[in-house]
Structure 1
Amino acid sequence: MTALSSAQTGAVSRNPFTGDVITVLPFAAAAEVEHALESSWQAFQGWRKSDTDARASLLTAMAHALRNHARELAAMMSDEMGKPIVQGVSEVEKSARLCEWYAQHGPLFLQPEPALVENNKAFVQYLPLGPILAIMPWNFPVWQVLRGAVPIIMAGNSYLLKPAPNVMGCALLLEKILTEAGVPAGLFRVVNADNDAVSTLINDRRTAAVTLTGSVRAGAAVAALAGAAVKKCVLELGGADAFIVLADADLDAAVAGAISGRFLNSGQICIAAKRIIVESSVFTAFRDKFVAAVAALPVGDPRNEATYIGPMARYDLRDELDAQVQATLAEGAECLLGGHTMQGEGNFYAPTVLSNVRPGMTSFRQELFGPVASLIVAKDADDAVAMANDSEFGLGGSIWSSDIEQATSLAARIETGGVFINSPTFSDPRVPIGGVKNSGFGRELSRFGIQEFTNAQTVWRES
């Protein structure tokens, strides 16, 4: 969702490897949008009365269904957005583990909590809110959807999904699989809404809250609508994560982490190693190892199990990425590898390494959503932290160092929602994910994610 008005008449799914159109689905008419919302509302009326054991059992059934259809879902992701199929299978497995984790721990997070009031006369209970509208992106069509849906459903809410138009096939397949697993009708509902319909959904009294993962522009538009309707929203927006390599880091481990942190999912990840900031004394050694590793990455057919980097999801995004790369080079950066679209079949952008990137350049300031890494030299650890914070974004980041205590101290100075020491950034149900600054607000996953969309109701009992 890039704006709140739509020129398109439908959702178009195009295979980025072959260029073939897979499906064209007209956007839902007003009656279809109303039906989706009413079915979500009715499902909530029943589901809110279920106990946590019943909800946990449903999540366990969902995990089994996901594993049974892992290859089918992965193939759909390969076809619709170019995800390498091995990575797609891993995404489905990660989503199944998410279901199992919340099945195990969700009931505990929803237990009433005693308040610090004498004689135990007050407690807080976590009650469901209603249908939650989820506006989701295309880059993780299963994980991104379920990391919100699973805790939302576990909390007793219903989940109304507005997917990205280019992955409607993934969304509808996921809905079918979950329905067959026993998810009650309307509890997980897909609606092919255009931006005008999204506005209608947010303003409708039956919609309790909104969650969005997407661009800053889309987040600002949705937050304005939600605010005007006095509805809570959770936003996970863009990122330009710093990947800091200090002089005492294990360089081989740091290079391996930078490869997966930057080039997994063809570089199309919000929380990813986009700005690689390396202390000057080890910069040359790191650079040479990193460029060699990037050059060796297999690029090709996403259905091929050997492929690590597939085509970019959309043709317009490849053009935008190339424009950002060319602007950075015009500003004085050096291209060590790639820096161009790839000729022949498929919407490929060559794996690219930019060096001599400095604050103020395009690839330093903006989010580059694709297989492009920017190498930046830091004088020392303090300089690296200052450059990490010199960004409108604040989603995640990494620090690589053999001195864990020093790295932990530095982490507290970095203005992001998460810092990973000697690890690339990733999402895990055991810890919250979310951002600060223009990367959004609110949290997903862990106990924070399940309690975001509940009514923390105080109950005070006088004898």
Structure 2
Amino acid sequence: MIQSINPYNQKVVFETKELTIEETKSAIDQAHDRFLSWRKTSYAERSKLMKAAAVELRKNKQEYAETMTLEMGKPITQAIAEIEKCAWVCDFYADNAADQLAPKTIETDAEESYVSYEPIGVVLAVMPWNYPFWQVFRFAAPALMAGNIGILKHASNVMRSADNIQKVFERAGFPKNCFTHLPLSSSKIEDVIKNPKVKAVTLTGSTPAGKAVASTAGSEIKKSVLELGGSNALVLFEDCNLEETLKKTVTARFQNTGQSCIAGKRLIVHEDIVAEFTEKFVAAVKDLKSGDPMNEDTYIGVMAREDLAEELEEQLNKTLKAGGKLLLGGKRNKAYFEPTIVGDVTSDMTLFEEETFGPVIGITTFKTEKEAVDLVNQSIFGLGISLFTEDKARAKRLVPQYDDGAVFVNDLVKSDPRLPFGGTKISGYGRELSSDGIQEFVNKKTVYFNKF
């Protein structure tokens, strides 16, 4: 049995039986059979169903959000916001997929030549627990609108949320087996990828998981998209709007209890403003309310599992031992971790070098623009960064110097259906969302008509 355990009170929320090898194969067979008819549907038909999925999400957002909160501890107001964002991505692709995948005419010496964008079949999604709905829907909405079929291997601690996602599509009226949740352990992923009826795989998760999936997909010559970890920098120049920057940086680090790949995890602050900013930052974080994630005024809940909190504690202790200065927090109680700020963090300390997946952040200072670029780029991660400055010319000049997949100026890094999302280095490859995302899992077919 696979269990979901509430990290706030340790009670079992849900349990489900893992599929057998035969049951898994049968589910994939049924998904492939559905593809043969689904690929023939029109964009108008798919759009109508995807719009219905958006309606379903909004109609029953409380139900879906509460399950999410029970399973992985996300504060309820943030869980509801996640469901609403999923409805947005459904609406976005319902409205835009036909244009994004319209044949592209290319002038050649042919009578007619163009590129068509056609579905490839069953696509496996391997998804994490931290945004149990959003991570799935940002894959599922474009995949289904492109004419593909989705099968989901979700994280073991959010099995009921996975069931709920399948329920959304069923309630919306999608034909059976358009989207299927497969309750499986990680050890079964390799066999699923190797199934000849599975044509591609997308994974959001850890670097080790990404390496394993990419290796298997590569051995089978199958397309993969990886969205892996991040250690996003929040770079504060001396001319930034301090009050507005403060709001953005607090949200960037501590929403979802700090458990986000695109969270701001390294505060890199110009030495001229570090003292004033740090004082305000500590005060603002101290005011964040911790408590029962089901309470509407809770901003900091528990981490999703106690072992994750223990790992974060170890990273903190290594940094403090190396000379970091504890400015706030630092205590753990089972899966709860206090919002924590550490000063005097240098680039060779654990909090700077490693991804920290929880409510802890270190502050590092810089003097020059070159140092601000070098400190960011020395990371092995490359998901995204935020620059805070009132000098737009400076920002425009610096953007090309950063290696990351996204640079946000005067805002936190966030995913938006209208913009491509993805990383560089060990943060992964490929893109999700926008037209780039929907075109990841299609056959870009060259068509050439000659005349005699």
* TM-fit CA distance, 1:99: 0.6
Tell me the residue number matched to 1:131.
Answer: 122
Tell me the residue number matched to 2:43.
Answer: 52
**Which residue identity is paired with 1:231?**
K
Q: Does 1:25 align with 2:13?
A: no
**Which residue identity is paired with 1:219?**
G
Q: Which shifted more, 20-29 or 60-69?
A: 20-29
Say which of 408, 419, 422 aligns to 2:407. Answer: 419
Q: Which shifted more, 26-35 or 317-326?
A: 26-35
Distance 1:147 1:174 in 2: 12
Q: Does 1:285 align with 2:273?
A: no
> Any idea what SS the aligned residue of 2:364 has?
strand
Superposed, which structure 2 residues align to 1:350-389 within 5 Å?
350-389=338-377
* TM-fit CA distance, 1:11: 2.2
Moved over 3 A (4+): none
Distance 2:336 2:396 in 1: 38
Say which of 129, 135, 152 aligns to 1:144. Answer: 135
Work out whether residues 265 and 309 of structure 1, in 8 Å CA contact, stay in contact via their aligned partners in 2: yes
> Any idea what SS the aligned residue of 1:281 has?
coil
Distance 1:351 1:459 in 2: 56
Work out whether residues 209 and 232 of structure 1, in 8 Å CA contact, stay in contact via their aligned partners in 2: yes
Superposed, which structure 2 residues align to 1:296-307 within 5 Å?
296-307=287-298
**Which residue identity is paired with 2:396?**
T
Q: Does 1:204 align with 2:195?
A: yes
Tell me the residue number matched to 1:72.
Answer: 63
> Any idea what SS the aligned residue of 2:345 has?
coil
Distance 2:379 2:358 in 1: 19
Q: Does 1:317 align with 2:308?
A: yes
Say which of 438, 441, 445 aligns to 1:450. Answer: 438
* TM-fit CA distance, 1:120: 5.5
Tell me the residue number matched to 1:331.
Answer: 322
Superposed, which structure 2 residues align to 1:196-235 within 5 Å?
196-235=187-226
Q: Does 1:105 align with 2:96?
A: yes
> Any idea what SS the aligned residue of 2:152 has?
strand
Distance 1:296 1:196 in 2: 42
Say which of 414, 422, 425 aligns to 1:434. Answer: 422
TM-score of the pair, normalised by structure 2: 0.98
**Which residue identity is paired with 1:251?**
L
Work out whether residues 279 and 381 of structure 1, in 8 Å CA contact, stay in contact via their aligned partners in 2: no
Work out whether residues 211 and 234 of structure 1, in 8 Å CA contact, stay in contact via their aligned partners in 2: yes
* TM-fit CA distance, 1:21: 1.6
Distance 2:107 2:427 in 1: 34
Say which of 320, 328, 336 aligns to 1:348. Answer: 336
**Which residue identity is paired with 2:200?**
A
Percent of residue pairs bearing the same amino acid type = 42
Distance 2:149 2:377 in 1: 38
> Any idea what SS the aligned residue of 2:196 has?
coil
Work out whether residues 432 and 444 of structure 1, in 8 Å CA contact, stay in contact via their aligned partners in 2: yes
Q: Does 1:117 align with 2:92?
A: no
Say which of 242, 245, 260 aligns to 1:254. Answer: 245
Work out whether residues 159 and 188 of structure 1, in 8 Å CA contact, stay in contact via their aligned partners in 2: yes
Work out whether residues 243 and 275 of structure 1, in 8 Å CA contact, stay in contact via their aligned partners in 2: yes
Q: Does 1:406 align with 2:397?
A: no
* TM-fit CA distance, 1:380: 2.0
* TM-fit CA distance, 1:405: 1.9
* TM-fit CA distance, 1:45: 1.1
Q: Does 1:393 align with 2:393?
A: no
Q: Deviations over 1:331-380 (max 9, x none)?
A: 111110011203xxx62100000111111111111000000111110112
Tell me the residue number matched to 1:243.
Answer: 234
Tell me the residue number matched to 1:4.
Answer: none
Any stretches of 5+ residues in structure 2 without a counterpart?
Answer: none
**Which residue identity is paired with 1:164?**
A
Distance 1:274 1:452 in 2: 29
* TM-fit CA distance, 1:321: 0.6
Q: Does 1:37 align with 2:28?
A: yes
CA RMSD for the aligned pairs?
Answer: 1.0
* TM-fit CA distance, 1:112: 0.3
TM-score of the pair, normalised by structure 1: 0.96
Work out whether residues 41 and 130 of structure 1, in 8 Å CA contact, stay in contact via their aligned partners in 2: yes
Q: Which shifted more, 213-222 or 401-410?
A: 401-410
Distance 1:101 1:387 in 2: 37
Q: Deviations over 1:299-326 (max 9, x none)?
A: 0111100001110001110111111111
**Which residue identity is paired with 1:169?**
R
Q: Deviations over 1:232-261 (max 9, x none)?
A: 000000000011000000011111111110
Q: Deviations over 1:400-455 (max 9, x none)?
A: 00011211221111111101000001000000000000000000000000000000
> Any idea what SS the aligned residue of 1:412 has?
helix
Distance 2:66 2:362 in 1: 31
Q: Does 1:85 align with 2:76?
A: yes
Work out whether residues 39 and 148 of structure 2, in 8 Å CA contact, stay in contact via their aligned partners in 1: yes
Q: Deviations over 1:66-121 (max 9, x none)?
A: 00110001100110000011001111111101111111111101100011314652
**Which residue identity is paired with 1:438?**
I
> Any idea what SS the aligned residue of 1:452 has?
coil
Distance 2:332 2:304 in 1: 14
Work out whether residues 15 and 159 of structure 2, in 8 Å CA contact, stay in contact via their aligned partners in 1: no
> Any idea what SS the aligned residue of 2:231 has?
coil
Q: Deviations over 1:6-49 (max 9, x none)?
A: xxxx4221101111122232321112111221121112111100
The count of residues paired between Structure 1 and Structure 2 equals: 451
> Any idea what SS the aligned residue of 2:93 has?
helix
* TM-fit CA distance, 1:196: 3.3
Distance 1:178 1:214 in 2: 24
